[in-house]
Each structure stands twice: as structure tokens, then as C-alpha cells.
Structure 1
Amino acid sequence: MKRIAPLAVLLSSLVVVLGMAPATAAGLDRSDVAAQQAKGERVVRVETGALRGRDAHGTWTFDDIPYAAPPVGALRWSPPQPAAAWSGARDATRPGNRAWQAKDNGFGLLPVDLNPGRTPQPMSEDSLDLNVRTPGGTDRPVLVWIHGGSFTGGSGAAYDTTKLAAKGIVVVTINYRLGALGFLADPALDPQGTGGDYGLQDQQAALRWVQRNIASFGGDPHRVTIAGESAGGISVAAHLVAPGSRGLFSAAILESGDASSTVPLAKAREASETFVTKTLGVPNGPDRAASLRALGAKEITDKQDQLTYPIPLGHLNYSQKPWLVSGGSVLPEDPATAIRAGRAARVPVLTGTNKDEMRILGFLVAKSGPVTSASYGDYLDFMGGPAALVHYPLVPGAQPPVALGAALTDGWVGDVRDQALALSRRAPVYAYEFADRAPALPGATFDLGAYHTAELPYLFGVADLPVRLTADQQRLSRQMVDYWANFVRTGNPNGIRTATTWPTLPAAVSFGNGATTIDSTFLADHQWDFWSTQRRP
């Protein structure tokens, strides 16, 4: 039986329906509210004050809402603290800052800016905010989107959530601390042994804010789905097992998110100490933490390329800038281990990968050197191991970056499917493969296929992926949005239909060629038999 919300929650939801805030909200009176509505704006009240949002495509948006205090000064590299209250109606009609990052390019990792004509969103450490788009009404299901970007780039405001909100869903996008400012594991900053993971703690603070405040926007705090792609999907996997995330959501969506992508605390601390001492020039001693907090944010993020965590990406080797750390109190256990052991939250899961996930690697490594016939073996041997090099020889006439991408994709998506199968032992899991030939990225010199991130424009408008969908792709987009919306509403992408068009695992669906089909060749297509013998425990 569905729980009944407290009276205060019901009253705050009624405020949204009537289109006005309480007369006493932050000093506002009814004439103030009426004036705002006449300008196409709406005022709602949250725990820290009143917010003035705007009408957008038949929904209401409220941007730049602080969910925690700015992590500056003594609060840098500290757990998120409560946001301060304000008086009057805060302007929530425009996005705020993106978290400080090394590049203005939203994904923080591509060799080219995919949308150089846009005005870059300002960067600041004062960025712990979120954005809400609501269709109004009451008891609406809620989707909380955690952006990707390799834990070093991106922002919540880069995602236009119109498509999903139009389906009657309240959609929240969040910012969190990134890079060395979000995931530095130096012991001087963490005497309690949390493991750092300040960015993950930010996400938890945002989820707690949603529980306390989302009813003011018409959302149901008992029906919250957390979702994310890439680093966002990895974050969702972490929330499935993190103690501080329990009870904050009722379903989860992982797009291209592998739970094994964490670095052990001891390795993270070793790498962080070396980075702080040798790269930032801050010596050990009683003033180490204070000296670090006195450095400029740009100085830290500009040098964070030299902070490298060795990551076992499932069976693949990888070196990455600051990343999720497991082994501290925030994330005590590697999520992959916990999921295999049945210790994940028992909630419905929608999860999948893209058919050509790792082809984009050939695009990314252009920064350090292209994938050629000469370098193909080195890349594959390092990331996949000698057996992979034997199993995937570079055949005459093949494009090296395409061949490398195919081999590494097989290993990556196999790990994600293993993760899904483990989760399916405790709760329903719905799996997909996105296989549509997505619009090409500017600057690509070879066919990227259904590359990593390619599904995003089918679900959102994405400022950092300014691509145009064909008529067939738009039709597929509508199908996918319907499935995602059904899942957020019911925990089942089929919704309340009597006919099941998307079965649970081990079956899966494929989104490609403008249509949705049942996937029957996934395991064979991705060399499951080979990679299953290569998996690490």
C-alpha cells in the first residue's frame, strides 16, 4: 500500500497546483505572488526560502537551487554542509555555475569542444546546486539525473529535460564536486577515514534534499529513481551499495555504468599524497590541509592530469584522473563485490550499454597519439592483456581505432551485463543495448557507430552534444523516452501494459535502426565466451 504523505507535504504540493506560494513565504504576500505569476513566473517554497521559477515548454523550471553550502575555505574537501536560508524570492530562472573543472568542454575529456559556439557556463566552487523541471500537479514520480563526464567535467544544467518532464515526471539534475576538488584522498584532509569521495557525498546530500523538498514541486518522495550515464552510471552503482544512500531512492537507471570502476583507498591515498607533495608543492606537516585549502581552484584542477588512479575497469586496465574511491566509510566496499554478494539495494534496475561504447577511445586518445597499426597492439595489450591481443588481431584493411574499440567494447559491456545478472537475483532488471547509428561527432575521422554517450540526445537535449536526429531517430527517441518514463513511474519500462514488450533479464532489448527489438545475439556479438574466461575475481 502506498504511504500517505504528511499533511505538510500535501499542503506544499497543493501550493504547486494553485500556482502560488504561502503568503508568509520568506516575507512574500499575495500581491507579490500575483505579480510574479503575471510575468509567467511561479513561486514555490523550499526549506531555505522561496524560489521564483519560469514557464518553459509547458512545464515549470527552477534552476540554481542550493542544496548545500558552497564548499570553499574550510569547507573545501569537507562533507557537504546545509545551505543557508535567504529572504525574499530567490531568482531560479537561470542556471548557476558548473563545478570547477579543468576545461569548459562539458564532458571534460574530449579532444575537441563539440559546441564551440555556445557561451560557456561559468565555473565556480560555489556550484552545489540542482535544477528542477516539473509538470505541476501532485504525487508525480521523480527522476534524479547524475551527469557523466569522467568525474572531471559536465554539469546538471547541460541536460534539457523537456522530453521526460512532458511525460508527467518531475526531473532533477544536480551538480557535484569534480576532479581533485571532489575526489582527492590525501590523509591530511580525511583524518576520519571517509575515503574522500566528496562528490559522492554531494550526490547523497542532493538526494536528501529531494526527500525533504520535492513535494513542493509536485513530486512524490516515495517514488524517486536515480539515474546517470558513464560516471553518473558508476555513481548510481555506488549508491546501490553505499550506506549513506539507503532509503533515498526506489529505482535505478545505469547507462554505461560499471560498478567495478573504483580505486581502492590505499592506492588512492598513495597517488593523492604524491600529487599534493610533488605536483602542488605542499609538504607534509601540521599545516598541510590548511595550505591545500589556500590554493586556487584553477591551480589544482589545471594540474590534476598528474593525479592518476590506476583502475581495474572490470578486466580492463585503465588510468584515470580522480575517481570514486572504495574502502572508506562513505563507500566501504567495492560496489562490484557488494553486488555480486547480494548486498545491493533491492530496487528495480534499468541498465545497458552502447553497441560501440569504446570506439570513442580512438577519438579520445588523439590527445596523446592516434591509434595506428603500430600502436594498436600496445593499446590493446595494456588495456585488455596479452590474451586479448591474440584473440583480436588487427586484420588487413581494418581501421585500427575501430578494431581497438570493438575489442574493448566487448570486454566493457560484458562486465556491465555480469553486473546486471547479479542484480537480477534480488530484483527485476531490464537490460538494453543502444545500437542506433548516432549522429557523427565533429572532428571524428572514422565511423564511431553507437559510441559512448550516443544515447543521450535521444533522451535529453544535451548542450555539449549538439546533434540533430533524423525522423527515424526521433521516432526511436520517443520510444525510448516512453520506456524510461514508464520505468520512473512504475519500476517497469512496460508500464501498466498487459503486453510485455521489454522482458526482464536474461532477455534484453536493442534500440537501433529507428526501432526497438528483442536482442537475441548480444552474447555472441560481444565475444562473451572469451571474456568470461578473462574476468578478474
Structure 2
Amino acid sequence: MRLLPFSTPRLRALTLGVTAALLSLPAVAANQAPTVHVASGTLSGLHDAHSGLDEFKGIPYAAPPVGSLRWKAPQPVHAWQGVRAADHFGPRCMQRAVFSDMVFRSDGMSEDCLYLNVWAPAHTHGKKLPVLVYFYGGGFIAGDGSEPRYDGASLAQKGIVTVTVNYRLGVFGFLALPALAAESPHHATGNYGLLDQNAAMRWVKRNIAAFGGDPSKVTIGGESAGSMSVSAQMASPLSKGLMARAIGESGAVLGNLKPRPRKQAEAQGKTFEHQVGVHSLAQLRAMDASALLKATGAKDAPPFDPTIDGYFLPESPKAIYRAGKQAHIPLLVGSNSQEGYYGALLNGKAVTPANYRAAMEQRMGKHAAEALKLYPGNDAKQIEASGSALVGDQFIAFATWRWMHLQHQTGQAPVYYYYFDKARPAKRDGSAGPDWGAVHSGEIEYALGNLDGNHVFAWTDTDRNVSKTMEGYWANFIKTGNPNGDSLPHWPATAKSQGGLLRQVIGAHTHTRVDHDAPRYEFLERIAPDAHL
């Protein structure tokens, strides 16, 4: 075969034609970063050829809350020129290292932390996929959207645009002061972290279509303080219309976790101002962020958490839910089988009925006899179960139940109530065996499909099957407002049955049961002013 010289017109024309054809094809995903256009400019992300996902990390959704913007409601993000790289997580918000199970992939720590992250199936332009916006836990003092347990890739592979959000924490997110209320156009103070979440939800409403998401099909979800945040967003008039459904994993701003009255929050803020030795808001804003953060770790430092501020929360969440003023959207909510541990009740003493009774008398005071009927302890096994139940109820399960119960009563939408009971397996390094129940936060990796992102535990086939079931429920609910789907055990909406409420037990043997724990929670609510809650 005779080769034609490259300079022949015929080959030159053929070469140009092939080149033009190649240029007209979509860019090879592995070699070109995906781009999207949002209201503030163009973003360039990352493409994962293995998962088929586009990832955009460190997207600013509000202006940096620094300088004069410290302790102000989030302000609009400034537009940028050209293409902004969204290829790594932004900084985590200011926080002390208080939780050993938190693993961060963030770009350091800073007050400039109002960023979110998006995982989306590739080539979804023009599609209208359901969206999950997830808020991290951490007691409103720690956490970050970069944590591997919140990674959005697994749900995104199921056709869901997944978003994690950073919001201000501790003193930076929840300081309340009369001077802050005086300068506020709404005469409100505190709740800046919750307002950050609201701003992120508004950003999603405006921009998520660029990632293939449907702004009318947004589910907000979270765990612990993130779950409390979801209950607060549902209660706030500022967030109505920004979400279509909600997921709450262990926590609510109700019951013993209700927000502080504004006067109390402002008094605590003044106490903190005195403790750090300043005499004006200007001086407080001028303080170094690290110094402020360090001061919150003092033994006598006041708490910094949500407030009934008259704006984001015009009244108590209890009053809002009781009156049916909250968002009327489907809710998937529940808690875990070991939210607390009996050892915290016995304080190192032997597991005996006498020691248990003494501990209950100390903790419950004049209500001890009634408490012992609801949380009996006649032998070691019963003490371990009842003691753990009481500690877990008083910590977070009671508040979660109160949210479920009020939404079921007045929410005008289905509620799906769960009880997660899969204990995590032994640790890979052999340092600890499995827990007897599902500890607080232990469900996150199962629900979001992120077992492989946690290298501490030796996950088993049973764990993977439980995760497949739980993530399947979550994905179906995000898509339709109903967790049920093919190959999953049927999960009925909460309804009265046999003197209790239907509740789904999710674990190695997922099934529906009738929950009869309401008397425990009604008791705790009734005695709250007297007991050490």
C-alpha cells in the first residue's frame, strides 16, 4: 500500500475534517473539569470518571462573615469574574476540637467559612433531579460539611443532587446581645448559624437547577444538631417554601432541647462579654477569632445555641408546632437504640438494683418512684437497658419524639418514624468490640451510604445490607416523600395501632413494630422543671 504524502490536499482535508468532528464532541470527562453557571459567576469542579459524578466543593453561598459582618445575618456573596475553581473543600467554621470522631477534609479553619459542596450525576443539564441539603451535627459547636461520613457521592449515584452546608458555630453562630438586637433591622439577635442555613437553602433554590437539581424537590436533612436545625427550619417562617420534605436523625429544638428565651440568651451574652474583658460590641468584633474561640472553652463560659429571637423563631417551636404553623411537609424522623449509656447514670458503681435505685433517686428526685416504673431495674440486664434508655431519652430521644408527635398531630403530611438498632462492629485495630446498641451518630454512614469512608470499624456483610436498606429508604423519601420501594421491607406512615404508634425498626432484621414508649416521654415532659434534664 502506497502512503500518500501528508501535504496532499486529500489527506489534509481529511485531517481537518476529523479534527473538526472531534472538537464538536463533548469534552472527555476525565480530561476536562465540569463547569456550571450560578448567579454569582462560573464554577469549575471535578469529574469522577469512576462514579460518573461531578463534584463542586467550596462554593461560597454568602459573603465572608468577618469584620463588621461578624454576628450579622449572612450577606449576599460577591460576584466574581472568570471561572472560580470549586475543586476543594472550603475552610471549616471556627470550632474547638471537642469530638474525637470528627474527620475533616476542609481547607483549614476560618471565620470565612460559609461554603457548600455539591455532588451531582454528570451530564444532567436540563434535568430535574431531587435534591438533599444536609446539615452536620456537633452540638452547634463543631462539625463540617467535608466530613467523610456526610459525603454526597453515594446518594448522588442514586440520582440525587446532594449538598452539604457549613454554618457558623458556637459564639460566632449564636451569641446574643442587646447591642446586636439594636443594630439589627429585625431587632433580633443570635441564630446566625440558623440564618446561614436559611441562606444556603435560598442559594439552592436559586442555583441548584444549574447542577441538574429541581428547586421544588428539596429535602433538608441532618443529624443531632443538624436534625435540630431541620426542626428549626421547619418552624421558621423564613424557610417556608424552601423545602419539600425533611429528614431528622436524633434531635429537635423541642422538649428538653428547646431554644433559650431571648432575655436569657442576651444575659448570657453579656456575661461572656464581661468574661473576655471588653465593654462594647466594637471591641468584641475587633477581638481575634482565635482568642474568642479559646474563651468559649473556659469552665464558666455560657452556652451558645439557638434562641427564640423574635425573627427566625418568632415564638417557641413548641407553640409553632402546636398551632400548626410549621411547614406541612412529609417528615422522616427517628433515633437510635443507644443514644445514652447506663454507665453515666451509675457513675462507676456496680450494676445492682440498690445502686440503680439510689442513682434514680438522685437524678429524678421526688419523681423517682414513677420513673422506676417506666425505667425498671430489677436485675443487671434490665438496669443496662432501662438506664441507657433514660440517659438517651433525656439526652435527645425525648426531643426527637416530641417533634415526631407534634408533626403527626398538626403537620398535615405523612410522618415516617424509625428506630435504628444496628450496633457498629468491632474496630479494625481490635481496640474495642461492638457496642450493644446503635450509639448516637452511629447511623450516619449507614443512611448516607458511607461505610467505606469510615476506616475505624471492620464492616461486615450485615452492616452493608443494613446500609443498603437504610440508604434505600432515605433515597426513596428524598425522591418521592415516601421511603418505600422495591425490595425494601414495607414502612408504614406513623399511625395509631394497638395503643401505640407504628414505628420502623431498621437494623439486621428490619420490621415494623408498635411503639409504646409515649408514656416515658410524656412523663419526662411533665416533670421537666423538676428533674435534672
TM range (shorter): 0.7 to 0.9
Q: 2:217, 2:119 → 1: CA distance?
A: 16
Partner of 1:155: 144
Q: How does 1:385-534 map to 2 (within 5 A)?
A: 386-388=366-368, 391=372, 392=375, 404-411=387-394, 412-425=396-409, 426-439=412-425, 447=435, 449-460=437-448, 461=450, 466-495=456-485, 500-505=490-495, 506-512=501-507, 514-523=508-517, 527=520, 530-531=523-524, 534=527
Query: What amino acid is the match of 2:305?
Result: W
Matched, 1:122 2:108: yes
Offset at 1:93?
1.3
The answer as to whether partners of 2:93 and 2:113 remain within 8 angstroms in 1 is yes
Partner of 1:343: 325
With normalisation by structure 1, the TM-score equals: 0.80
Offset at 1:157?
1.4
Offset at 1:323?
0.7
Matched, 1:296 2:288: yes
Query: What amino acid is the match of 2:236?
Result: A
Q: 1:101 to 1:422 in 2, by over 3 A?
A: same
Offset at 1:263?
1.2
Query: What amino acid is the match of 1:510?
Result: V
Query: What amino acid is the match of 1:471?
Result: D
Q: 1:481 to 1:464 in 2, by over 3 A?
A: closer
Offset at 1:393?
7.4
Corresponding residue to 1:282 among 264, 275, 278: 278
Matched, 1:53 2:45: yes
The 3-state SS of whatever aligns with 1:151 is: coil
Query: What amino acid is the match of 2:341?
Result: R
Q: Over residues 220-247 of structure 1, what are the superposed CA-to-partner deviations in whole Å (9 max), with x where a residue is unaligned?
A: 0000011111101111111111111111
Q: Is 500-509 or 193-202 further displaced after alignment?
A: 500-509
Offset at 1:520?
2.5
The answer as to whether partners of 1:128 and 1:176 remain within 8 angstroms in 2 is yes
Q: Is 219-228 or 442-451 further displaced after alignment?
A: 442-451
Q: How does 1:95-494 map to 2 (within 5 A)?
A: 95-103=89-97, 108=98, 110=99, 113-114=100-101, 121-136=107-122, 137=124, 138-158=127-147, 159-191=150-182, 192=184, 193-260=187-254, 261=257, 262-277=259-274, 279-283=275-279, 288-306=280-298, 321-359=303-341, 362=344, 371-373=347-349, 386-388=366-368, 391=372, 392=375, 404-411=387-394, 412-425=396-409, 426-439=412-425, 447=435, 449-460=437-448, 461=450, 466-494=456-484
Q: Over residues 146-165 of structure 1, what are the superposed CA-to-partner deviations in whole Å (9 max), with x where a residue is unaligned?
A: 11100000011112122211
Partner of 2:12: none
Q: 2:106, 2:60 → 1: CA distance?
A: 21
The answer as to whether partners of 1:372 and 1:400 remain within 8 angstroms in 2 is no
Query: What amino acid is the match of 1:132?
Result: V
Offset at 1:189?
2.2
The answer as to whether partners of 1:486 and 1:493 remain within 8 angstroms in 2 is yes
Q: 1:372, 1:65 → 2: CA distance?
A: 47
The answer as to whether partners of 1:151 and 1:323 remain within 8 angstroms in 2 is yes
Q: 2:26, 2:460 → 1: CA distance?
A: 43
Q: Over residues 254-307 of structure 1, what are the superposed CA-to-partner deviations in whole Å (9 max), with x where a residue is unaligned?
A: 111223121111111111100111x21112xxxx11111111111111121348
Q: 1:398 to 1:296 in 2, by over 3 A?
A: farther
Q: Is 188-197 or 468-477 further displaced after alignment?
A: 188-197
Query: What amino acid is the match of 2:276?
Result: L
Query: What amino acid is the match of 2:325?
Result: R
Could you list the runs of 5+ residues in structure 1 that have no partner in the other structure? 1-29, 310-319
Offset at 1:536?
6.6
Could you list the runs of 5+ residues in structure 2 that have no partner in the other structure? 1-21, 496-500
Offset at 1:483?
0.8
Cα root mean square deviation, aligned: 3.5
The answer as to whether partners of 2:331 and 2:414 remain within 8 angstroms in 1 is yes
Q: 1:176 to 1:388 in 2, by over 3 A?
A: farther
Offset at 1:419?
2.3
Equivalences, count: 477
Q: 1:361, 1:332 → 2: CA distance?
A: 39
Q: 1:234, 1:164 → 2: CA distance?
A: 22
Q: 1:268, 1:371 → 2: CA distance?
A: 31
Partner of 1:94: 88
Query: What amino acid is the match of 1:328?
Result: G
